[in-house]
Chains A and B, each alone.
Chain A
Amino acid sequence: MSNRRPRRAAVTGIGVIAPNGLRSDAYWKSVREGLTVLDLIGREGCGHLPLRVAGEVRSFDPAALIEDRFLVQTDRFSHFAMAAAALALDDAGLGGEPAEPFSVGVVTAAGSGGGEFGQRELQKLWGQGSKFVGPYQSIAWFYAASTGQISIRGGLKGPCGVVASDEAGGLDSLAHASRAVQRGTEVMVVGAAEAPLAPYSMVCQLGYPELSTLDDPDRAYRPFTEKACGFVPAEGGALLVVEDEERARERGVPVRATVAGHAATFTGASRWAESREGLARAIRGALDEADCAPEEIDVVFADAMGVMEADHAEALAIADVFGGRGTRVPVTAPKTGIGRAYCAAPVLDTVAAVLAMEHGLIPPTPNVFDICHDLDLVMSQARPAELRTALVLSRGLMGSNAALVVRRGDESAR
């Protein structure tokens, strides 16, 4: 190992369970076309709440994808995560138990836990009594549930971790996985899936000052416009397989992208003006780690909070890093078509970035037509472009800022 170059984390598998598509091809088709699936929330017990619009995963049948013994002991967020992990492993040609279990680890980010399962058990406890609380509450509600279940279901004994975080944690999880690969683990299953649309979970989110409470799906989440009125939450997520690039090439699977650099900073919950410097520093840190000049970035996947002050800070952070090119580097935010699935939002963006590079096409920002910031935001329809390197940005409601640089698979072979 001493005479080889530093290990690099390659993306070789993608699994998506998103409001606008199950599996990565369906997700990409919707993203590319700028389809918006935001809608009034239809889940039981939610109709009376002032949070009206969200991105729901509606066509997902967990029983078709996950064995009963796992279904009964897990919340919806883990159903999404387990299904997405299996899709990603299959996509990477790594279905079935690994020959060397310690060589495959799991890292997920989690920002909301097993809320629906937890609410059911709380209802049993307080409505009926403590003896009615089921045996799986202790393993379904907590943030570590998805990592644990993915590890058990797949027989994966490598380094296992959980970043319980705000949105930016989704990018942090990808960095965790890449670093585990750099330290010597062969393969990591990584990403996030969330299910924050149970009634009590929604009540909890009402405190976020950035939450959009508009009841018009076409207007509820319009970042970078003068009509920005907050963000719309979503459920679902994505898991990826990242592995040592050389190993991937040796076993002959396509290297779809490499995770080239990451950095994270903190500037305080809801202090959006200060996030300008935090985000700019995160971007510079990620570029440094990737050994990448700002000019090499072909597209930026924006955080797009949908709050005027936050959008302004993001536009300025991009200008701070890219200088005069800040107004010309293409920026997009496909999440306006599906909402923000908390930690899963930047993971879905990373998937979109990988697919965009593969297809040479920058997906548009649905529902956004008239922006009030000095950005080249891709709107209306997808834009063809040669994309070698993408930058994914994320900020969290509790104050984290993160940036991730991903390069197209064939670019990293240089």
Chain B
Amino acid sequence: MTRRVAVTGIGVVAPGGIGATAFWDLLAAGRTATRGITLFDPAGLRSRIAAECDFDPYEHGLDAELCRHADRYIQFAVVAAGEAVRDSGLDTAAVDPWRTAVSLGSAVGGTTRLESDYVRVSEHGRRWDVDHRKAEPKLHLAFSPSTLASVVAEQFDARGPVQTVSTGCTSGLDAVGYAFHTIAEGRADVCIAGASDSPISPITMACFDAIKATSPNNDDPEHASRPFDAHRDGFVMGEGAAVLVLEEYEHARARGAEIHCEISGYATYGNAYHMTGLTSEGLEMARAIDTTLEQARIDPTLIDYVNAHGSGTRQNDRHETAAVKRSLGAHAHDTPMSSIKSMVGHSLGAIGAIEVVACVLALKHQVVPPTANYETPDPECDLDYVPRTARPRTLTNVLSVGSGFGGFQSAVLLTGTGGRTR
């Protein structure tokens, strides 16, 4: 069984822009939301910059319990899901809850809260035999990664398959991909899909410091995230969430929903190479792109825009450039490819979903978001990275790709309304 999968709602909590409108304004203007870390005192770290969300849960109508006790990444997800469901016009009381699924991704889940409680129970890292009496009562909610999908499912009364996906930095793409399969193969009619992470914490910043993956450009944070630029020096940590309402195409049509676009293909492969390293050939990401296009029966020359992983590490940018050239051939040079991580940073598992939402908005506005801070070309990266300024363009088929620690390589294809031939 293969059914068409429509996107009928989007919601986003991103640095510099909460809500799809503010988020798109940021992207279309090419503004950056990277800055010095304010969420904790980063003194002593190599990378002390991040793209943070100015987020107050009370402003977004979350109930008191969620405001007080839920982890920040859960709050992001509930707010983004609320916006997506409102945008879809879906009356959750009118749909069959047993046919409503949830598929949400997160790379590091509740680690921020796990860390803050750890500090207390271990007396600042002094004890291995931690003192449980100092722990918060609901710490298990930070410990269990499935809390994310569970809380969102309860909020929107979804009783179908509910899952949390955690494939490192491709979690967001994969969560959307799993949702796509769930609907296409008939296991649900509606799926709340997306991802959330709030990884701006001492342990997560320190562990990326340890492998020098993050940018040490602390003196100029606004220009620190420089994907594909010759002077890039690592990624800038981000946080946020994005959620989509995916819906079986006829289900959406029958209720008169506005269909933003379709998810028309998804694939993922492992590189079986290195937990953090990437080859310069991009063979596995190219395979993910090829499989995605084959599923959708879309010729590579029909791709109008590639939303890059574009983390701003040298190995990523080379790898990805090679992969896209391998899959799109000569057409790669005619295809704009940009990285919104230049503006909103790299929110680990969340970013894949945020990028899919950026693609939905790019299709809606028929505008390609730029790669901010791109100034000096790198001879190893010779594609059109849409420097600094958004670009109007006729868009029908848009590809979003991602790479993650663990070797995950994923691709999601979005097709604008009217773009399908069948």
Contact = CB atoms under 8 A, between A and B. Distances in A.
A372 interface: no
A160 B207 contact: no
A398 B146 contact: yes
A137 B203 contact: yes
A163 B185 CA distance: 18
B150 A156 contact: no
Given A44-B128, A133-B210, A199-B129, A160 B167 contact: yes
Contacts of B98: 265, 281
13 contacts: A45-B129, A111-B144, A118-B114, A125-B206, A130-B209, A133-B206, A149-B406, A159-B268, A160-B167, A161-B165, A179-B185, A207-B137, A269-B154
Interface stretch (B49-57, B78-86, B119-127, B359-367): B119-127
Contacts of A179: 181, 185
B196 interface: no
Interface in B57-95: none
B179 interface: no
Interface stretch (B22-30, B103-111, B333-341, B371-379): B103-111
A207 B139 CA distance: 6
Nearest to A269: B150
A207 B203 contact: no
A412 interface: no
B405 A137 contact: no
A147 interface: yes
Given A142-B166, A207-B141, A399 B269 contact: no
A148 B270 contact: yes
A148 B44 contact: no
B202 A130 contact: yes
Contact of A148 (B126, B132, B168): B168
Interface of A: 44-50, 73, 101-102, 105-106, 110-113, 118-119, 121-131, 133-135, 137-139, 141-145, 147-149, 151-152, 154-166, 169, 172, 176, 179, 199-208, 263-269, 278, 281, 396-400
B191 to A, nearest CB: 12
A130 B406 contact: no
Contact of B143 (A134, A204, A265, A400): A204
B145 interface: yes
Contact of A144 (B119, B153, B154, B406): B406
A141 B204 CA distance: 10
Contacts of B272: 101, 151-152, 154-157
B160 interface: yes
B408 A160 contact: yes
B409 to A, nearest CB: 9
A200 B150 contact: no
A252 to B, nearest CB: 26
Given A121-B203, A130-B202, A142-B168, A266 B139 contact: no
Contact of A160 (B107, B142, B181, B268): B268
A174 B228 CA distance: 39
Contacts of A106: 270
B404 interface: yes
Nearest to A206: B132
B203 A122 contact: yes
**Top 8 A-B residue pairs of the complex, sorted by shortest distance between their CB atoms:** A148-B406, A126-B125, A127-B125, A207-B140, A164-B166, A204-B143, A160-B270, A164-B145
Given A123-B122, A151-B270, A208-B140, 16 more contacts: A46-B129, A112-B143, A126-B125, A142-B166, A148-B270, A148-B406, A148-B407, A152-B273, A156-B272, A166-B146, A200-B114, A207-B143, A263-B161, A263-B187, A399-B154, A399-B162
B164 A266 contact: no
Contacts of B130: 45, 119, 199-200, 203
B159 A266 contact: yes
B299 to A, nearest CB: 20
B125 A123 contact: yes
A201 B132 CA distance: 10
Contact of A111 (B127, B146, B404): B146
Contacts of A159: 267-270
Interface string B149-180: 11001100011111111111000001000100
Nearest to A145: B406
A108 B153 CA distance: 22
A265 B159 contact: yes
Contacts of B109: 113, 143, 164
A138 B142 contact: no
Interface in B272-291: 272-276, 284, 287
Contacts of B213: 138
Contacts of B270: 105-106, 147-148, 151-152, 156-160
Interface in B173-228: 174, 178, 181, 185, 187, 202-203, 205-211, 213
B125 A163 contact: no
Given A49-B132, A123-B128, A265-B160, A138 B276 contact: yes
Contacts of B404: 144
A149 B128 contact: no
Contact of A200 (B118, B124, B137, B174): B118
B271 interface: yes
Contacts of A131: 44, 209
A266 B162 contact: yes
Contact of A102 (B159, B161, B167, B287): B287
Contact of A110 (B115, B138, B166): B166
